[in-house]
Chain A
Amino acid sequence: MKKEQGKKVNWGDMGIILTLIAMIIFFSVVTKSFLSAKNFANIARQISITGICSVGMTMVILTGGIDLSIGSVIGFTSAVAALMMSNGQPIILASVVSLALGVIIGVINATCINYLQIPAMIATLGTQISLRGAVYLVTGGMPVYGLPESFKVLGQGSVGIIPISMIIMVIVFIIGYIILNKMVFGRKIYGIGGNAETARLSGVNVKKEIYKIYMLVGFFGSLAGLILMSRVNSGQPSAGDGYEMDIITAVVLGGVSVSGGEGKITKVIIGVIFMGVLANGMMMMNINEYWQRVVKGLVLLAAVAVDIRTKNKAS
């Protein structure tokens, strides 16, 4: 027995890859500095943060949910870790506390969704706003400096020419791949997104799985927060602000259906690279930041439009 589909070239699949290649050629021609090992390492560092978060976001969107709070999770958990480190607490302790906070925020999100029955988009919008406020409260609105020197390794170090943060991202992607493709948990995620009531009647404790998924996103968010903090060598109160949109765009570009149940983590990697190259290239071309936003928004719209078109064609 062989897969029936896959023989035909799927425009939705190939389109993004071809566009990415065209974009890389374009930026290589119009800018001098784009095509270099150093810049590629730089892109890798930049995308490791959105990349790590996109694995969790993929799972959430696959269940038919969304997590808008992830940017604020990055900001809040890294601010707390930065404050602890600058006050002389051990790196390990600060990191563990930060990761635990990420998981706790996931628990709060999932509780709002499961028991208060607030739609995921609104529930996580609420935590996004509150957490951003909390970041400004704990930092007093000022950057936190004085991080230990050895902490730099996480975001700035590399093994050979490969940045450590990128290695972490690759590991997270592998974990995501195993969960979604090889584990029972993954089947449950696709099942909940495909038809939550069928999943429940098939014996899945849907609420429990929703908890697990949002806790995982929170964990990945705080991990990304630690890397970002190490890269900029400080705890910034605005850290992660607006990242959720970049992450969601990358996931949707990677072909994950916004209505849940469909999508592959392997393609999300392409979406993440796409967003990274686009942002970096525009920076290299000295396009101003406002225009960059305009472009990113249009990319999100285009990605969703393509998703819906391919869906309509299929049915």
Chain B
Amino acid sequence: MEKKPILELKEITKRYPGVVALDQVSISFYSGEVHAIVGENGAGKSTLIKIMTGAISPTEGKMFFEGKEVIDNSPQKAIEMGITAVYQELNLLKYLTVAENIYYNRFPKKGPFIDYQKMKKDAGEVLEHLGVVIDPAELVKNLTVGYQQLVEIAKSLSRTVKVIIMDEPSAPLTNNELKYLFDIVKKLKDEGLAVLYISHRMEEIFQICDKVSVFRDGHYISTKAVVDTTKDELIKEMVNREISDTYPQVEKELGEVSLEVKGVTTSLLKNISFSVRRGERLGIAGLVGAGRTETARAIFGADRMEKGEIYLNGKLLHITSPADAIKEGIAYLPEDRKQLGLFLNMSVKDNLLFSYYPELAQSGLINNKNATEVCDQQVVTLKVKTPTREQLISHLSGGNQQKVIVAKWMLMDCDVIIFDEPTRGIDVGAKQEIYQLINMLAKEGKTIIVISSELQELMGISDRILVMAEGRITGEVDRDTMTQKKILELASVER
């Protein structure tokens, strides 16, 4: 290849006390290419982004931009050069308009005042250029997460940009919004930008990227043209071991019907009825906003039900709070781990035992010896990687955090376990372990409900799938008859 790289990193090393986050990494990026970066959590992807955008400086190594060495990179400098990043966590001001967000801190002015006319017009042009239909005068809070993500991209493109880094841009998007994103990426590529695309979703990489680089444990492993590699090969390089069966299955028997949901209606749900058997893994599919999470929350007593009945093993339950649901034997592992699943200020031990503490206590006093034993046992059983049980949970990787949550609910020994997006944002290896845990629980005769936006995953780990759209159940497919096409059709049913 004769082309000169626009951005080149040479032997970049970043050391933190006790950890080498990046080890002698050399990599080049070219204009007009979409370059995917893949790797498990902790592979060094985030550190790499931070070095390129000037958020942190490398311990060793050099960075070249358009052939010139970049000295003392800083966020300001990176932006001036034309390197910009769109992060997973949105940095938008929700109570300001789209236009205000795009031009925040660089408001066009007329004398001492903000020129709202010009700002609105300019923002409109940026959005139109991206092919996004959003009113620049709309408040950001009124947009879906997907559209907010697009505003974030528009914001970063409202300056002169030569390199754009997208960190998991597709994570919160629905299928429709995903098309938008892909169109945008293609457009940017055609305009000669270098696009760095970081994603956990393999399918996307093969759809829109030109090259893919694999990172593992802070090491740069390889760069290949997408056409020269396969998903299995990439995964193998990422985890350094063969993952033979992406969706492991177990021999198990289906028992009696255990959970029965009859006519559940809330402000967002209409007459939801279904039943699940012991040992069965029921998947719930649907687009964002279809009512999957709401169904789980209604069963779990987290949201108020207007109408409907829930039976467990033939008994009518009266659930008005999560505490009631847990007492009856229903567990729910929420979708948003950080906001709803974890106590980020607490240790691994306190997170793991939080709901189980009453069982470890006599007249309210916790037996610390037993607590420690139970905690250590769960950590070993679920292979949670943590230096100590007193480690703050926020310092663990997403996969290990999720394992702690699973461990916490396994202790509660509930009959029904509802997993809401159990593998979101966790790496391939940890996903496998989560699938195996789900299988193990089903084999033990638990009733499992899984909600997932990744259709392939859902099809791989469910015995039967319910499809929802706009607060209703629109259909049901079982293992033998399920196809992606069929589910998508049911999920996009319009009423």
Q: Which of B152-160, B177-185, B385-393 contacts A (4 or more CB under 8 A)?
A: B385-393
**Pairwise interchain contact B344-A194, C-beta atoms closer than 8 A:** yes
Given A4-B387, A4-B390, A203 contacting B350 (CB threshold 8 A): no
**Pairwise interchain contact A185-B388, C-beta atoms closer than 8 A:** no
Contact of A182 (CB < 8 Å), options: B300, B340, B346, B365: B365
**Pairwise interchain contact A187-B350, C-beta atoms closer than 8 A:** yes
Cβ-based interface call for B111 (8 A): no
Most B CB contacts (10 A, CB to CB) among A190, A193, A194, A201 go to: A201
Cα(A201)–Cα(B343), bound, Å: 11
Cβ-based interface call for A204 (8 A): yes
**Pairwise interchain contact B350-A190, C-beta atoms closer than 8 A:** yes
Chain A proximity of B368: nearest CB distance (Å): 8
Cβ-based interface call for B358 (8 A): yes
Cβ-based interface call for B54 (8 A): no
Chain B proximity of A263: nearest CB distance (Å): 10
**Pairwise interchain contact A198-B390, C-beta atoms closer than 8 A:** no
Cα(A204)–Cα(B323), bound, Å: 6
Cβ-based interface call for B5 (8 A): no
Number of contacts between A and B (CB, 8 Å)? 85
Question: A193: nearest residue on chain B (CB-CB)?
Answer: B345
Cβ-based interface call for A261 (8 A): yes
Question: B333: nearest residue on chain A (CB-CB)?
Answer: A201
Cβ-based interface call for A205 (8 A): yes
Cβ-based interface call for B176 (8 A): no
Cβ-based interface call for A9 (8 A): no
Cβ-based interface call for B82 (8 A): no
Cα(A98)–Cα(B201), bound, Å: 64
Q: 1/0 per residue A167-196: CB within 8 Å of B?
A: 000000000001000111101001101110
For A1, what are the chain B residues with a Cβ–Cβ distance below 8 Å?
A: 387-390
**Pairwise interchain contact A200-B322, C-beta atoms closer than 8 A:** yes
For A4, what are the chain B residues with a Cβ–Cβ distance below 8 Å?
A: 387-388, 390-391
Cβ-based interface call for A117 (8 A): no
Given A182-B365, A183-B364, A183-B365, A202 contacting B390 (CB threshold 8 A): no
Q: 1/0 per residue A196-228: CB within 8 Å of B?
A: 011111111100000000000000000000000
Question: B371: nearest residue on chain A (CB-CB)?
Answer: A187
Cα(A182)–Cα(B408), bound, Å: 19
Chain A proximity of B398: nearest CB distance (Å): 16
Cβ-based interface call for A3 (8 A): yes
Which of chain A's residues 244-268 have a Cβ closer than 8 Å to chain B? 261-262
Chain B proximity of A210: nearest CB distance (Å): 14
**Pairwise interchain contact A3-B366, C-beta atoms closer than 8 A:** no
Cα(A178)–Cα(B391), bound, Å: 22
Cβ-based interface call for B355 (8 A): yes
Cα(A285)–Cα(B323), bound, Å: 56
Chain B proximity of A89: nearest CB distance (Å): 34
Cβ-based interface call for A313 (8 A): no
Cα(A201)–Cα(B345), bound, Å: 17
Chain B proximity of A19: nearest CB distance (Å): 26
Cβ-based interface call for A2 (8 A): yes
Contact of B346 (CB < 8 Å), options: A2, A183, A190, A203: A190
Given A183-B364, A200-B322, A201-B334, A191 contacting B340 (CB threshold 8 A): no
**Pairwise interchain contact A184-B357, C-beta atoms closer than 8 A:** yes
List 10 tightest A-B contacts by C-beta distance, closest first.
A194-B343, A203-B326, A1-B388, A194-B345, A261-B345, A203-B323, A184-B357, A183-B364, A202-B355, A184-B361
Ordered by A's residue number, 16 sampled pairs between the chains whose C-beta atoms are within 8 Å are A1-B387, A4-B390, A185-B364, A187-B354, A190-B345, A190-B346, A191-B354, A194-B344, A198-B340, A198-B342, A198-B343, A199-B354, A200-B322, A202-B322, A205-B321, A261-B343
